[in-house]
Structure 1
């Protein structure tokens, strides 16, 4: 199959997606293997257009992304006014007043080759009422608002946890822009007047200045608009509103109130859910809701009534359709970020999907060329990745036990996608969590959701029955004691930030508040 050679790449749209892509591509094509076939990269964005810019909560893969660029955690934390994130606290999801944490880490460790979850379920059968959360170092650190770096070579499975960042997305985009421009990426501040197409895809862009910008390969980072992938190339869109009923969001930034917590908070309301993301210099807040269940004015009032700290601007509203482009890569154009699709930020996956798409591009461009096989593979993996995340988000709604509002009753009654139905059935029948290809979230993430939402298995692995009861209970107690001792020795989250990242408390902050 004939390969299409790339000599020029044009990225349309800046923001987080555009500049992350520019940074990764310019580093990739600057390695010695490409010196004989240099690739020029140009990014076109308009300072007249704003970006959505609310994706402030991440998952641990972001740290590996910028580490490959040669940036360190302290550098990024300082540049983006970031705080550390050990997981997400879900309030009011199971029932009003309930709370649980989905951590970046493991639950317990196996006993005599019996997986932990089956040991835990056997102990419950024996009358042990200890919550699953007691066996997670990540959960306990988050609950007590403590933070330390994971041990580079943990001596115990109980010591394994990971972490991510809450950061100012616009500052991170600036950091990526500075990195890119220092390595030769050309930036053009301009509006695009026309997109010219031909049989091969995008032929050129006509700027309002009259300049015609040609390229071999185009990256669409124009957000929901999808200027290239949809308006020009008509990729088509797969709508997932039959499972995800929320279709609007309102966002506002607010003054700091209290010491920064090491977790994102996602609080369910009657018509959706509200996020709270602590940064060093402000908080990010937003309400994702179903417009069929609440008016925009009511949603705004609900959100503002649950914001701690003075709002810094008028709330901004976004409308969206949950789903994805039918093809993320069409001819000579690939879509990243919101141009590729949208899933509500319940599990902080928006930036992660940018990262994984960029990774696939880098793997494709082992030489500066591609063919239809590369396009088909990229589209298939993107499809599966979006669907796996979609199903994980659907689980939050499907397994709720609330009966106080139509959204939650409707969510509980929905018919599930087949893969999710099969996955839930495997857990309910035998406490098994099968791992599907291209899943971002591992078994322990699913366990956190199942347990937090009250999904109970009917049976566990028979090998757990062979464990002597007193020995099993003693070993579980040792696990809890180990976690308790470890947490006790860890500094407060804000102390870690102060010691290693130059953090200084804002005047409004009150030490120890907001835990």
Structure 2
């Protein structure tokens, strides 16, 4: 006979991770008899709060909660995002867009890139970006919703995400979760109590002596990893040899420059700088290796490259790339920074929270806390971290930059075996294999590998089934259809105003 269901869930920590978790649980499991969801957080403990850029999967999360997109846009001061622009990564003066959505059209039953490669061999000078509606629209500052209902339109190939104020998103979700029955308790945790025999966490004690008891504990305490790391002692798997950036400084500034639906990543001598334009301000940050650049120099470099007046003091962060060896141990599940950290180069931080929540909902335990579900959760979590790690390492390792010790180190990194296999296969034949439904699609790998100088030696033999003239004609037609479609789209600002997503004028003064 099965054990009784979990009835008391305690979430330790708020911020984006905590309130995403609370909102999802009350939405998906709120009707379970006797279920209580309690979130403990302290206003005295700050949150990282710089994860403002997302990837398209966030749309599914918002829809799961039943959020109205335009209300969400206004409340979080959000803008649209069609991809990430990488500036100076291959070499100074070079840039490309890693877009959302797909490239071109598959033909004769094989992937588009093989025809692109055949065209390039024949002298076609167009870049892979020119075959992405998302990349072209992003650089033009234009936006429209995808048209999956019209597969003949280039808009059917478009995907999008959001850039938003993470603090406002957490506040928005807090209101949602509390209205649906989640209970927030203000207080600083001073003690974690465990069962003497099993080691399971039984409750957390607050500074004023109150105890919050529970059966399932979700650790959203950020880098502290209060429950999983500090209390249960789950070790940390360190990936800093592959991802040497261990520090960041973040600061918002006034609006200035282009307000394209793009996150921008600009390579710097010891790392990179992010630029995330919102409706009311720009989020900026400099991710760097402290072994190659001191904190003051990193801060000065960031401040010298802002598009507007700073709106706050610099926020200094320190971290290690990697993950806890087990994201679920005993009756504690870690989500967000408490379980691991991979730098926000490809905007995956919020997604890792979201995917962890989805995994927990699928493998939600009863009070027996079977090891089978726990082991599966840990296997899938580690696999996801590893796949994202490989994609991030690709950006660093495939740079041609030789202008600093940091970039020379990155260029000479021996890749993880899983990345090495992908590079060898693509270099050999232009083929890309996506395994275990990994996060980044074939199109994402194609974008970054081609744009950062990985040149295939050949391509699928079936591409020869089209003669040279027809290949070039088809490629020209695809580029023309994309350009014509983009020219008819409204600007992002026009789109937001027309659909009710633009913030009021007085909200520009509210950071």
TM range (shorter): over 0.9
Equivalence for 1:91: 87
* Runs of 5+ consecutive residues of structure 2 not aligned to the other structure: none
Tell me how far apart the structure 1 counterparts of residues 224 and 289 of structure 2 sit (CA, whole Å).
21
Tell me how far apart the structure 2 counterparts of residues 475 and 507 of structure 1 sit (CA, whole Å).
49
1:460 CA drift (Å): 0.4
1:507 CA drift (Å): 9.4
User: Contact between 2:39 and 2:182, CA under 8 Å: does it hold in 1?
Assistant: yes
1:269-313 Cα offsets, whole Å, 9 max, x none, are 111000000011111000000011111111001011111111011
1:214 CA drift (Å): 1.1
Equivalence for 2:239: 240
Tell me how far apart the structure 1 counterparts of residues 41 and 461 of structure 2 sit (CA, whole Å).
59
1:260 CA drift (Å): 2.3
Residue 182 in structure 1 maps to residue 179 in structure 2? yes
User: Contact between 2:190 and 2:207, CA under 8 Å: does it hold in 1?
Assistant: yes
Residue 332 in structure 1 maps to residue 328 in structure 2? no
Change (3 A) 1:126 1:156: same
Tell me how far apart the structure 2 counterparts of residues 223 and 25 of structure 1 sit (CA, whole Å).
19
Residue 55 in structure 1 maps to residue 54 in structure 2? no
1:155 CA drift (Å): 2.1
Residue 12 in structure 1 maps to residue 3 in structure 2? no
Name which of 159, 162, 165 aligns with 1:165.
Answer: 162
Equivalence for 2:142: 146
* Runs of 5+ consecutive residues of structure 1 not aligned to the other structure: 510-515
Change (3 A) 1:393 1:4: farther
- Bigger CA drift: 255-264 or 330-339? 255-264
> What pairs with 1:365-376 in structure 2 (closer than 5 Å)?
365=364, 370-376=369-375
Equivalence for 2:463: 464
- Bigger CA drift: 258-267 or 354-363? 258-267
1:323-370 Cα offsets, whole Å, 9 max, x none, are 000000000000000001000000000000000000011112387874
1:158 CA drift (Å): 3.5
User: Contact between 1:256 and 1:508, CA under 8 Å: does it hold in 2?
Assistant: no
SS of the aligned residue for 1:334 comes to: strand
User: Contact between 2:139 and 2:260, CA under 8 Å: does it hold in 1?
Assistant: no
User: Contact between 1:108 and 1:157, CA under 8 Å: does it hold in 2?
Assistant: no
User: Contact between 1:280 and 1:505, CA under 8 Å: does it hold in 2?
Assistant: no
Residue 82 in structure 1 maps to residue 78 in structure 2? yes
SS of the aligned residue for 1:10 comes to: strand
User: Contact between 1:29 and 1:38, CA under 8 Å: does it hold in 2?
Assistant: no
Equivalence for 2:194: 197
SS of the aligned residue for 2:204 comes to: strand
Tell me how far apart the structure 2 counterparts of residues 502 and 457 of structure 1 sit (CA, whole Å).
43
SS of the aligned residue for 1:5 comes to: coil
Tell me how far apart the structure 2 counterparts of residues 496 and 481 of structure 1 sit (CA, whole Å).
23
Equivalence for 1:128: 124
SS of the aligned residue for 2:240 comes to: coil
Which segments of structure 1 move beyond 6 Å, counting only runs of 4 or more? 366-369, 505-509
SS of the aligned residue for 1:460 comes to: coil
TM-score for both structures, normalised by structure 1 = 0.95
> What pairs with 1:444-459 in structure 2 (closer than 5 Å)?
444-459=443-458
Tell me how far apart the structure 2 counterparts of residues 438 and 385 of structure 1 sit (CA, whole Å).
9
User: Contact between 2:154 and 2:485, CA under 8 Å: does it hold in 1?
Assistant: no
Residue 27 in structure 1 maps to residue 27 in structure 2? yes
Equivalence for 1:513: none
Tell me how far apart the structure 2 counterparts of residues 270 and 121 of structure 1 sit (CA, whole Å).
32
Tell me how far apart the structure 2 counterparts of residues 43 and 508 of structure 1 sit (CA, whole Å).
29
Tell me how far apart the structure 2 counterparts of residues 274 and 212 of structure 1 sit (CA, whole Å).
43
1:152 CA drift (Å): 3.5
Tell me how far apart the structure 2 counterparts of residues 2 and 390 of structure 1 sit (CA, whole Å).
38
Tell me how far apart the structure 1 counterparts of residues 410 and 357 of structure 2 sit (CA, whole Å).
33
Tell me how far apart the structure 2 counterparts of residues 311 and 368 of structure 1 sit (CA, whole Å).
50
RMSD of aligned Cα (Å): 1.7
1:243 CA drift (Å): 0.4
1:112 CA drift (Å): 2.3
1:438 CA drift (Å): 4.2
Tell me how far apart the structure 2 counterparts of residues 359 and 347 of structure 1 sit (CA, whole Å).
20
Residue 311 in structure 1 maps to residue 310 in structure 2? yes
Tell me how far apart the structure 1 counterparts of residues 437 and 209 of structure 2 sit (CA, whole Å).
43
> What pairs with 1:403-442 in structure 2 (closer than 5 Å)?
403-442=402-441
1:487-510 Cα offsets, whole Å, 9 max, x none, are 01101111111211342586999x
Number of equivalent positions: 505
User: Contact between 2:147 and 2:153, CA under 8 Å: does it hold in 1?
Assistant: no
Tell me how far apart the structure 1 counterparts of residues 25 and 114 of structure 2 sit (CA, whole Å).
45
